[in-house]
Chains A and B, each alone.
With several copies, the nearest count.
Chain A
């Protein structure tokens, strides 16, 4: 498949923006008074949302992987980096009419569950809804390798398969669920074998390779959108940092992370595009500069957003007594 040049460039700019958001999040986290609720970031895993968003249409439902990938939703139409930072810091987020977590059905996101994986059936419900409403919206639900073992993922795949719903499940296999290696939590090598249990297509792909990802996602979304039913894509990547800041990472073989970092998506993609003659050093510098400016402004704007007032929350939460 030949990926159009504009797509390649769009994804490049987005990957740079995503990476710079990863960095910004750390900055914000360490900023006194930001009130950010922990830091679980997706450094090195940014290629996945970039490639997904490049394949989505307006109105499609998309949930990035559970713990760490939510902020990259800013890549979708209707959202901004500022929203992402504000959301992580519990600021008043007008997108949801109040505060906090990205929820905006019109913009294609219906929430995320802190209890991992419990949001999968909701997204299946969105897919069902699109089918009943005879809309051509598709749904992409992503979770981590650890979460993929959970009960609701299974029931979700069971119904999606039985009803041939327009949903694609993605597993972001970053090799760890907190401190537990996939090697310990799975007896299969290729996580996309899970699809065989349900009777829909499944495929693993290098999750640090933007173009490979784009192509697989394109194939799957096209099939699903034209009534081909569910699919499962496993994106192989790596969590280069600890699960969260305080993680001592003793469970991890020395050097493993450094080895993987050599395969991180941005440098690789940049090099490919340069080799293909699509970007130059100057483009790189410019993209970074722009993204940096965007992120700085977003950080400032986000932290300037007030917190929801206590009374407003109580009132809006409709205390029924």
Chain B
């Protein structure tokens, strides 16, 4: 299907990155809960078992700590594992494994060898499933020394960044977003391509305000920008794509042009990534704040838990209209 038309949904794109890389390098293996029996959380792994067989993909029991730890151990002993966690929230059950083992121990031990591990987790805010499933935990990992954090917003980016992640010799946490999985199809090059980490992408050019975002929020920001455009406000939208490493130069360049900065993320406001972005911005351009046309702002989920309610949960996360109004308050 996807193969013929070269039109890919976000999830097609990830699946195709998986396959290309597993084809290319037989050391790439993957495991997680129901990756065979149910093709992952939402068909991420469709066809992998059929194509690569039981040595290369495995269903685990429900053991998140073991999934992450095994990926680390297999990564140190000659393989290039992809550990799959259905929900990003499940990382909380394996947090020592993710944060202290995968993230810190290599540095703490002084080990210089490769640690080619990808953790792929799905974020799923906005469907009413509640904090236990829907938390978007990237801020916690940005504070970890040795992890790269990737959060794509389009099918094109999703594929190119996943391929880069699998080829990286250091641990990468890759967050896909359920809200993007089955969105509009995108044309994707039929030739192989990779997208490097640490290169933000200007998803829309504008002159009145810079809106920095990543993952599913980029889509909302773009929709808001369209609406604002109709009212003559021209927003520039910077998609960070990877949070570690973070491309602050692109942000600085954009803000120097627009004179305004709004940061938007789905995760809770207090202690969220916006704080790091703004500090990086001020460190990179210490004088810029003095000449800005309006105070820097952030828009993020309310400082409460996402409630398990289809009615309430979406209200807690920034929506297109919130972005529009915040921007209007700034220009």
Please give the residue numbers on chain A whose beta carbons come within 8 Å of chain B beta carbons, in ascending order: 35, 37-38, 61, 90, 93, 96-101, 103, 105, 110-111, 113-130, 132-133, 146-147, 149-152, 155-156, 158-159, 162-163, 177-180, 184-186, 243, 247, 250-251, 307-308, 310, 313-314, 316-321
Q: Give 10 pairs: A residue, B residue, CB < 8 Å, sorted on A.
A: A100-B308, A113-B105, A114-B130, A121-B66, A129-B78, A132-B55, A149-B61, A159-B60, A177-B62, A180-B34
Report whether B69 and A37 are in contact in the complex, using a CB–CB cutoff of 8 Å: no
Report whether B63 and A90 are in contact in the complex, using a CB–CB cutoff of 8 Å: no
Report whether A129 and B77 are in contact in the complex, using a CB–CB cutoff of 8 Å: yes
Report whether B105 and A111 are in contact in the complex, using a CB–CB cutoff of 8 Å: yes
Report whether B73 and A118 are in contact in the complex, using a CB–CB cutoff of 8 Å: no
Q: Does B166 contact A (CB under 8 A)?
A: no
Min CB distance, A253 to chain B, in Å? 12
Report whether B73 and A125 are in contact in the complex, using a CB–CB cutoff of 8 Å: yes
Chain B interface residue bracket vs A: 35 or more
If A115-B100, A180-B37, A321-B245 touch, whether A129 touches B304 (CB-CB below 8 Å) is no
Partner of B312, one of A149, A250, A313: A313
Min CB distance, A235 to chain B, in Å? 18
Partner of B69, one of A147, A150, A152, A320: A152
Min CB distance, B38 to chain A, in Å? 4
Report whether A121 and B97 are in contact in the complex, using a CB–CB cutoff of 8 Å: yes
Min CB distance, A26 to chain B, in Å? 17
Distance of A15 Cα from B70 Cα, bound (Å):
33
Min CB distance, A319 to chain B, in Å? 5
Distance of A30 Cα from B50 Cα, bound (Å):
34
Q: Does B303 contact A (CB under 8 A)?
A: yes
Report whether B303 and A320 are in contact in the complex, using a CB–CB cutoff of 8 Å: yes
Distance of A162 Cα from B66 Cα, bound (Å):
12
Partner of B73, one of A93, A110, A115, A149: A110
Distance of A103 Cα from B110 Cα, bound (Å):
8
Report whether A103 and B111 are in contact in the complex, using a CB–CB cutoff of 8 Å: yes
If A310-B312, A317-B304 touch, whether A124 touches B92 (CB-CB below 8 Å) is no
Chain B residues 20 to 55 lying within 8 A of chain A, measured CB to CB, are 29, 33-34, 36-38, 55
Report whether B303 and A98 are in contact in the complex, using a CB–CB cutoff of 8 Å: no
Min CB distance, B279 to chain A, in Å? 11
If A93-B110, A97-B113, A149-B62 touch, whether A122 touches B129 (CB-CB below 8 Å) is no
Distance of A184 Cα from B310 Cα, bound (Å):
34
Q: Does B112 contact A (CB under 8 A)?
A: yes
